[in-house]
Homo-oligomer: A and B are copies of this chain.
Amino acid sequence: MKDGELVLLYSKGESYIVSAGSKDMHTKSGVIKLKLLKGKKFGGEIKTHLGKKFVIMKPTISDILEKKAKRLPQIITQKDIGLILAYTGIGPDSNVVDAGTGSGFLTMMLANYVRPGKVVTYEKNKKFAKVARMNIKASGLGKFIKLKQKDVLKGIDEKNVDLVTFDFGGTEKAVKHAYKALRPGGWLAVYSPYIEQSIKVVREIKKKNFSEPKTVENIVREWQSGIYQNDVYTRPKTVGLMHTGFITFARKIGNGK
């Protein structure tokens, strides 16, 4: 394990992402000396000064986003990102443009899947761009991401793109730029928290030579199980996430601009 390498310390009900070799970390179960990680391997263990064991794991991109990245409000969720991956079928070496970087969660997830390909992401808000830069650096995916602090409503510089993703207010005004940037057969995926925004985007998409737009919402229902009076019981969790956003998908037909 090299100094600065990201490490997931994991035990039941408690886990942390840390940098190997950095300063002592204070947890609710005691102090962990991160210097000691240096000699260890993934799969090994480290103890707090109170004796609680943590397993040393290699973090996935989902771990890093969940535990390490700084969140701005309204982050696109993993379920919605998964849907974008699966519907559009992008993969390693795909060519992606993302606009409305925010804290960079979608950017980083996309970068994880297209690497060694690249994601170019547009963010006009200076403060958001700063947060995103920090998060991207922490994720270790920096070389697969190019962040442009720029208003996407002024145009997209890239050409022959496999996927354009939008997540900002006023996305309908950028549909024409996406059309121009996409390769024939390339996908546009627009995330809209409000139905009015989704309706406007659908209207703009219909004006261009796209496939029939498809708007979906994705509801993940979590179940729980336990033991009550010697019986197993299983039921969906009482309260949960009822809505994140509407996602509109369309595919460029033809080779026009």
Task: Please list the 3 inter-chain residue pairs (A to B) with the smallest Cβ-Cβ separation, ordered nearest first.
Answer: A60-B89, A57-B185, A62-B89
A42 touching B218, Cβ below 8 Å: no
| CA distance in complex: A13, B198 (Å) | 22
Question: Interface size of A by Cβ–Cβ distance < 8 Å?
Answer: 86
Grouping DSSP codes into helix (H, G, I), strand (E, B) and loop, the A interface class, with mixed when no group exceeds half, is mixed
Is the CB of A195 closer than 8 A to any CB of chain B?
Answer: yes
| B-contacting residues, A180-231, CB 8 Å | 183-185, 193-199, 202-203, 211-212, 214-223, 225, 229, 231
Residue in B194, B203, B233, B238 whose beta carbon sits within 8 Å of that of A243 in the complex: B238
Query: Looking across the interface, which residue of chain B has its beta carbon closest to that of A206?
Result: B225
Binding site for B on A (CB under 8 A): 8, 10-13, 42-45, 55-65, 78-79, 81-92, 109, 112-113, 115-116, 162, 169, 183-185, 193-199, 202-203, 211-212, 214-223, 225, 229, 231-244, 246, 251, 253-255
Query: Looking across the interface, which residue of chain B has its beta carbon closest to that of A81?
Result: B86
Query: Looking across the interface, which residue of chain B has its beta carbon closest to that of A246?
Result: B223
Q: Provide the residues of chain B in CB contact with A112, threshold 8 Å.
A: 89, 91-92
